[in-house]
Amino acid sequence: MTGSDQARVAYELSLLTNLGEAVDTLLEAFFRHPDAPRHLVRTPRLGNDIPWVLVACDGDESSMTGLVVGGTWDGKGWDLAGSFTLFTCDGDAQGKFVEISGRAGRIRPQGTVPGVGPLRPDLIALQAELVGATFQWARKAGLVRQWTAGAAVSGDGVFPQTFVELRFGADCYRGLVIGGEKDRDDRWDYSGVVTLLLPDGRIVDLDAAQADMVEELVHGGHADLSR
């Protein structure tokens, strides 16, 4: 996949998130930058299995926001406590690469745009899976009644709205969250077991605490990297 293709697909996928124009602008500048190929060679999975992660860095002398394009990726996330490379357009519309030490200031993750890799289909396929899971839910009258009864108390809405991806090594599950515990912010709690309705109609209970990655691709109007 070429840089322009990655930028296009990442832009389309960002429509599933609440990161908005900030990520899109950074991606366009990144792929135009003459040094981008060097960073892509260093981290070939960037934008593929490794998502685009937006962080804000608050230092003693300056603050900036940008995309992490290099550093230590442990399979679950970037090591933001160590050193990493940030691509930012703050103060430079063409963009620049800045070496950041996590110990030099406060690092605040802002969100993520899913990458496109062997475990992640493109936008059209993702939308088809979401539609498929929703269709399967609507066909299960008992499940609909159970959800509706619970929603009357919890205020979860008339149908499940969280479409999530859980990865366990080479195994990947994507589906609607239809059961589990909630945290204090009334969001699904991924420190325990969650119940997913898969696009093929299967219902599975998964221990999200054991997952290598948990990512909400759609949650109402936004998406959020949970782990």
* pLDDT score of 99: 92
* pLDDT score of 130: 87
Q: Cα torsion at 59, 62, 63, 66 (round to 10°)?
A: -100
Q: How far apart are CA 9 and CA 102, in angstroms?
A: 30
- pLDDT by 10s per residue, the chain, length 227: 555 555 544 444 444 444 556 777 888 889 889 888 888 878 878 887 788 899 988 875 568 899 999 999 887 789 998 899 999 998 888 899 999 886 667 888 888 777 655 555 666 777 788 889 999 998 999 988 888 887 766 666 778 888 998 888 768 899 999 999 988 878 889 999 999 999 999 999 999 999 877 888 776 544 444 44
* pLDDT score of 123: 67
3-state secondary structure of 194: strand
Give all strands of the β-sheet with 105-113 in edge-to-edge order: 96-101, 83-88, 63-70, 52-59, 105-113
Q: Are 101 and 42 in contact (CB under 8 A)?
A: no
Report CA torsion sign: 87, 90, 96, 100: negative
Q: Is CATH 2.30.30.520 what the domain over 123-225 is classified as, yes or no?
A: yes
Q: How far apart are CA 208 and CA 191, in angstroms?
A: 6
| pTM recorded for the entire structure | 0.50
**Domain ranges in the chain?**
3-113, 123-225
* pLDDT score of 37: 84
Closest CA to 71 of 45, 106, 93: 45
